[in-house]
Amino acid sequence: MINDFLIKGEVFEDERGKLRFINLFDMSEIIRFYEIVPKNQQIIRAWQGHKHEKKWFHCLSGSFIINIIEIDNFSNPSDDLIPTRIVLSSQTPEILAIPNGFATGIMATLENSRLQVFSNFGINESKKDDFRYPLEKWQAEW
């Protein structure tokens, strides 16, 4: 299942330095992007979901644990849903593509970690499609 969500990139290196790229990432749906810079590694941003909005995550620096969970009922999701844990690192060029219908939880694992987030919704559309659940709703490996 994890490989269904990851868009792999590559690294090219020569005497001038390194070039990291993710050429398979189709950005035609992207409307906006933003960056998450957690204050520390103890903060967990969970759970936030969207019925219709899609998100793409790219680790710019450091490392993040991202737990994703497919929501069965946005008004009253089951307590028995099981998150899938994915680790993104700036050392590995890849994009985590989260389809609509999922919720995410995010935690940095290294100091000064930075996560770039892409969205196919504008900010006003996104606010209307935003579902929040308590951190304790589902058991995840952080």
Tens digits of per-residue pLDDT, 65-92? 999 999 999 999 999 999 999 999 999 9
Residue 3's pLDDT is 73
User: Quick one: what percent of the chain has pLDDT higher than 90?
Assistant: 97
Answer yes or no: are the C-beta atoms of 85 and 107 closer than 8 Å: no
Residue 44's pLDDT is 98
Residue 1's pLDDT is 62
112 is written with which tokens? 């000064």
pLDDT above 80 (res 137):
yes
CATH class, range 2-11+35-137:
mainly beta
Whole-angstrom Cα distance, residue 63 to residue 126? 25
DSSP letters, 89-125, are ETTS-EEEEE-TTEEEEEEE-STT-EEEEEESS-HHH
Q: What is the mean pLDDT of residues 90-118?
A: 97
Give per-residue pLDDT as tens, 43-64.
Answer: 999 999 999 999 999 999 999 9
The one-letter amino acid code at 135 reads L
Whole-angstrom Cα distance, residue 70 to residue 110? 27
Domain residue ranges in the chain: 2-11+35-137
Report pTM: 0.94
Residue 72's pLDDT is 98
Among candidate residues 51, 67, 49, the one with its CA nearest the CA of residue 5: 67
Q: What is the mean pLDDT of residues 91-111?
A: 97
